[in-house]
Amino acid sequence: METDILVIGGGPAGMSAAITADRAGARVILVDESFSLGGQLRQQTQHFAPLPGSEEKVRGTALGNDLIKKLEASKVKILKKHIMIGSYRNENIGVTDGEKTFAIQSQKNIIAPGAAEKAKIFPGWTIPGVMTAGAAQILINRERVLPGKNAVMLGSNDYSLEVARQLKACGVTIKAIVEDKEQMISSDMELLHDMKNVPVYLNSTIESATGKEELNKVVVKTPAGLYEMEADLICIANGFDPIIEPFEIMGCNLAYHKELGGWLPEYNVYFQTSNPSCYIAGNAAGITTIGPVLLTGEIAAIGALEELGFMEQEEAEAQRKELWKELAEIEKRENEKTFRARSELIEGFHQKIGMAFPEEFNMVNGGAHNG
């Protein structure tokens, strides 16, 4: 199979990249391992704002459906239930549909595998009933199944409280929020308000999670002693880390940036990694919010389009400048530390490879880049 641009991942970033690339006339193949497109938007019933070009709040599931419609109306060749298993020496990408394995030859790849939830270990974390917060959200919103009746949330970040709120709306009792830090991580007033009747244990950990074949008892270790509670669900919300395997196998250099989620590929202002054939987009390029996720997909696509001659340099520069401006605006507003870390990663990579900063980046980055 042959194409101009291969997009790995059918979540918001991958779909955004594929739609942008298709619009400019490139032949695009999009590969996603699931039986449906949308990635994690499929279970995100929470509202998101701002989005690129809009301050209006949109439900994640609705945003996902909108992108899927646009993608399905395009000429992009969509390969669902296809898994990237690696790359060949000639940089063709190996893909399997579970029946056969084949190679896809592409000029450029835009890799948008997203993020994975970081595990947090405690005695009994392998027992059925202990799962990631994301798994619980998938079960209630995508699968319409209750993962349990009495839940303990481990972690107090925004995502933990968001999932707790959604579980509660489905009838699950939130027995406790357990946080090992000395204060709640989330500072979202709305979420904190919704959780105001839930016991919060700070400076606390899960001492044990037990049950014969399924979870039924949780012991929380707090500074005031051990608390035992009946619960059949523990949701681990320990943050996300970028999925790096496709980049590793493509030989992309990795770097560690705590604020961006941990290890991730280095990339330049075009969202191109150290492997010139591989662009990066979405949460794999640093854990962020939905606005920047969509914008990184567009910026990566424009870089690939420009390199392949589907877009004139002038046009690409103009579009990129606008997209970067918006990315900076949204990300600085929503999580300034993330934007700073992203800028540092990009700056470091440019210095390392001796690549000049294009004007558009100096503009949006302002003081963060001192040469």
Partner 1 sequence: MDKSTIVCRCEEINIDEIETAIKNGAETFDDIKRLTRCGMGPCQSKTCFYPVNEIIAEYTGMPLNEVSLPRLRMPLKMVRMSTLAQDSEGSNVVSVFGESVEDGES
Partner 2 sequence: MQITEHPVLDKKFNEEVIFYFNNQSLKAKKGQTVAAALMANSIRKLGASRKLNKARGVFCANGRCTSCFVTINGLEHVLSCTTLVEEGMRVSSNESDPDVRGESNGN
36 touches 80 (CB < 8 A): yes
Does residue 358 bind partner 1 (CB under 8 A)?
A: no
Nearest CB to partner 2, comparing residues 215 and 345: 215
Q: Does 219 bind partner 1 (CB under 8 A)?
A: no
Residue 62's contacts (CB-CB under 8 Å, 6 or more residues apart) are none
Q: How far is CA 97 from the centre of its chain?
A: 24
- The structure tokens listed for 361 are 């980046």
Name the residue among 244, 243, 246, 339 with its Cα closest to residue 291: 339
The answer to whether the CB of 117 falls within 8 A of the CB of 240 is yes
Least distance from C-beta 40 to partner 1, angstroms? Answer: 16
Q: How far is the CB of 98 from partner 2 (least distance, A)?
A: 10
The residue range among 95-103, 104-112, 295-303, 361-369 that interacts with partner 1, by the rule CB under 8 A, is: 95-103
Residue type, 248: E
Tokens read off for 31: 């590969």
What b-and-e string marks burial along 277-316, b requiring 16 or more CB atoms within 10 Å of the CB?
Answer: bbbbbbbbbbbbbbbbbbbbbbbbbbbbbbbbebbeeeeb
Find the farthest-apart pair of alpha carbons in the chain and give their distance in angstroms, rounded. Answer: 66
Q: Is 123 in the site for partner 2 (CB under 8 A)?
A: no
Per-residue contact string for residues 119-148; x = within reach of partner 1 by CB under 8 A? xxxxx-xx----------------------
Report 153-172 residues binding partner 2 (CB under 8 A).
Answer: 166, 169-170
With a CB cutoff of 8 Å and minimum separation 6, the contacts of 204 are 178, 179, 180, 220, 221, 222, 223
Instruction: Name residues contacting partner 1, limited to 189-218 (CB under 8 A).
Output: 205, 208
Structure token digits, residue 293: 């996720």
Closest to partner 2 by CB, 103 vs 146, is: 146
Q: For residue 263, state whether it binds partner 1 (rule: CB under 8 A).
A: yes
Between 104 and 323, name the residue whose CB sits nearer to partner 1. Answer: 104
Alpha carbons 207 and 228: distance in angstroms, whole number: 9
Q: Which of partner 1, partner 2, none does 74 bind, CB closer than 5 to 8 A by kind? A: none
Bridge partners, 115 (sequence order): 242
223/226 Cα distance (integer angstroms): 8
Query: Counting beta carbons within 10 angstroms of the beta carbon of residue 187, is it exposed (0 to 12), middle (13 to 18) or buried (19 or more)?
Result: exposed
216 contributes a contact to partner 2 by CB under 8 A: no
Q: Would you count residue 256 as binding partner 1 (CB under 8 A)?
A: yes
Supply the minimum distance, in Å, between the C-beta of residue 91 and partner 2: 25
- Cβ proximity to partner 1: between 173 and 351 the closer is 351
Q: Stretches 52-60, 61-69, 253-261, 322-330: which one binds partner 1 (CB under 8 A)?
A: 253-261
Q: Applying CB under 8 A, does 118 fall inside the site for partner 1?
A: yes
Establish if 251 lies at the interface with partner 1 (CB under 8 A): no
Is 12 an interacting residue with respect to partner 2 (CB under 8 A)? no
**For partner 2, which stretch binds (CB under 8 A), given 31-39, 179-187, 293-301, 324-332?**
31-39
Q: Toward partner 2, which CB reaches closer, 190 or 336?
A: 190
Radius of gyration in angstroms for the set of CA atoms belonging to the chain, rounded to a whole number: 21
For binding to partner 1 (CB under 8 A), which residues are involved?
Answer: 33, 83-89, 94, 96, 98-103, 116, 118-123, 125-126, 205, 208, 241, 244-246, 248-249, 254, 256, 258, 262-263
For binding to partner 2 (CB under 8 A), which residues are involved?
Answer: 33-35, 45, 59, 61, 116-117, 126-132, 134-135, 138-147, 149, 166, 169-170, 212-214
